Homo-oligomer: A and B are copies of this chain.
Amino acid sequence: MAVYTEVSDEALRAFLGDYDIGGLVAFRGIAEGVENSNYALRTDRGDYVLTLYEKRVDPTELPYFLGLMDHLAARGLACPVPVRGRDGDALRELAGRPAAICTFLEGVWPRRVRPDHLAPLGQSLARLHDASGDFPANRPNALGPKGWAPLLEGCRERGDEVAPGLVAELDGHLAGILAAWPAAGALPVGQIHADLFPDNVFFLDDAAGRPRVSGLIDFYFACTDLLAYDIAVCLNAWCFEADGMFNVTKARSLLTGYEGVRPLSLAERAALPVLCRGAAIRFLLTRLYDWTHTPADALVTRKDPLEYLRKLRFFAQAETAGALGL
Task: Name A residues whose Cβ lies closer than 8 Å to a Cβ of B.
Answer: 1-3, 6-10, 12, 23-32, 40, 42, 104-108, 110-112, 114, 202, 204-205, 296-297, 299, 301
Contact = CB atoms under 8 A, between A and B. Distances in A.
Nearest to A300: B299
A12 B205 CA distance: 13
A17 to B, nearest CB: 12
29 contacts: A1-B1, A1-B31, A3-B31, A6-B111, A7-B111, A8-B111, A8-B112, A9-B110, A9-B111, A9-B112, A9-B114, A23-B205, A24-B108, A25-B106, A25-B107, A26-B105, A26-B106, A26-B108, A26-B202, A28-B30, A28-B32, A29-B30, A29-B31, A30-B30, A30-B31, A40-B40, A296-B296, A299-B299, A299-B301
A26 B107 contact: yes
Nearest to A2: B31
One complex includes copies of this chain to the number of 2
A110 to B, nearest CB: 6
Contacts of A110: 9
Nearest to A204: B25
A130 B135 CA distance: 62
Contacts of A3: 31
Contacts of A28: 30-32, 40
A106 B44 CA distance: 11
A3 B29 CA distance: 12
A108 to B, nearest CB: 4
Contacts of A2: 1, 31
Contacts of A107: 25-26
